[in-house]
Amino acid sequence: MLLCTAFNGLSQRAWARLRAGGHRVTVRTAGDPEAIAAAVAGAEPELILCPFLRHRVPEAVWRRYRTIIIHPGPPGDRGPAALDWAIMDAEPRWGMTALQATGDLDGGPIWGSRLFPMPADPPRKSTLYNTQVADAAMSLIDEVVRKAETPGFTPQPLDRHRPGATVRSRPPVRQADRSFSWHEPAAHILRRIRAADGRPGVRTTLAGVPVAVFDAHRGAASPGEPGTIAAHSHGAVLVRTGDGALWVGHARRPAGPGVPVKLPAVLALAGVPEPQEAKEAPGFREIGYRRTGDVGLVSFDFYNGAMSTTHCRRLLAALRHAMAQDTKVVVLSGGEVFSHGLHLGVIEAHPDPAGEAWRNITAIDDLCREIITCTGQLVVSALSGNAGAGGVMLALGADKVIARDSVMLNPHYRTMGLYGSEYWTYVLPRRVGEAQARQLTTRCEPISATEAAGLGLVDRLAASDRKAFTAAALGYAAELAEGPRARALL
């Protein structure tokens, strides 16, 4: 049994991996100890794995069933905010620990652990979680299952598992712990914001408005008072700091007009008088293009994979530019998340949600149609991150799809109460057939990249390392461009 607070990306990877290994897996989500006890009651699992659980496992559960917590910290680390503290404290190495649930929170005997180097540049918490943490968790889950099947295995206490390791218990991170002043160095502020990204953000003020900020990147601005907005670019605002500037891509207004959702910073500050000097300026890049021989690479990285009307129109313009070049293959390469389709936050916060929803649907459909109808070049979708709903269908519009082998796909809309668009009734059946397309869109289950390759949704798998993936995608595109192969595929 997988016992989770939510069936998030890491939990989905665990579910797919265990099923691929021939195990019968049930998933139960629970939001408090009482719900945990109720979720387990009657199931009689041989083993409970908790890859993402925010609450203590009740004694009645862990005493009866072997329950293993996958904790996002090295042996000895305890507490509910391990990754937040690791990023804020600039830990050079971090890790994951599989430990048995007991009455001592995060203090039970250890089934296994993994250590990994932390990036020198502070990662977003969400990025760290979905890369090194998730990869280590999958390896640990494999080890736990093997040991659970081994007669006589006994997990070890901390001092035997890793002699010399010490216990370090840390409390939840409060907003007071995350707080910063815009007068402080940009590097310090960047680390604070990224340690709270994607939740809960860091509270501060922009243009005199209380907000929570996310999606921070280094920038450069003319001298001025720290905390003032120097420029804006594609929805982001450039904020001066004590020794430079940072782009803030997204913000959430906890109070005030509109819906309190995470939005591009310019939209979150809508209605706030703009400083006279804060004009549109280059510098915040979500879309790029470069050429390597006969291959053109259109890269895009939209926060959380959400694509607003503006995002779709800008990406369409970049794609048309790429298609106007004398290349043989165009690679459409996404970022940390490839795409989840429409930007529901922007739609919800718009004064005319129905009108904005229609504009967003039309814009993403225009983008999908451009991909599907391209006959001058082969189009390759390169998925280095997860994709869901319309984002999957957008990728399937390409002639070929390459994906990292750790990517998860959710090729359905029904859980959002939507029928869907993005020409899915064409692009999905042409790859898997009508019956399989109907099953994928009605069962609403995640599928791994490996499973997707078996179904015909993905044409090539590449290793999990993100940096190596871009090279693999370009190499695949170069293969397709060679000799008569490109013409034959066109």
423 and 297 assigned to the same domain: yes
What is the span of the domain harbouring residue 100?
Answer: 2-169
Same domain membership, residue 317 and residue 444: yes
For the chain, state the CA radius of gyration.
Answer: 24
Q: Tell me: pLDDT of 276 over 60.
A: no
Residue-wise pLDDT for 312-365, tens only, equals 999 999 999 999 999 999 999 999 999 999 999 999 999 999 999 999 999 999
Q: Around 467, how many Cα atoms within 13 Å sit in the side-chain half-sphere?
A: 2
Domain boundary residue, one of 169, 195, 222: 169
Are 314 and 202 found together in one domain? no
Give pLDDT, residue 418. 81
Angle in degrees, CA 37, 40, 42, rounded to 5:
115
Residue 275: what pLDDT? 61
Are residue 329 and residue 435 in the same domain, yes or no? Answer: yes
The Cα-based distances of 55 to 65, 170, 318, 351 in angstroms read 17, 16, 45, 38
Distance CA 154, CA 108 (A): 12
Q: pLDDT tens digits for 184-197? A: 999 999 999 999 99
- Distance of alpha carbon 303 from alpha carbon 23, whole angstroms: 35
How confident is the model over 295-307, as a mean pLDDT? 97
Judge if 341 and 465 occupy the same domain: yes
Which one of 169, 192, 217 terminates a domain? Answer: 169
User: Cα 475 to the chain's mean position, in Å?
Assistant: 25
* CATH number of the domain within which 372 lies: 3.90.226.10
Q: Do 337 and 465 fall into the same domain?
A: yes
Question: In whole numbers, what is the pLDDT of the chain averaged over residues?
Answer: 94
State the CATH number of the domain containing residue 276.
3.10.25.10
Please write the tens of the pLDDT for every residue from 124-154.
999 999 999 999 999 999 999 999 999 999 9
Structural domain count of the chain: 3
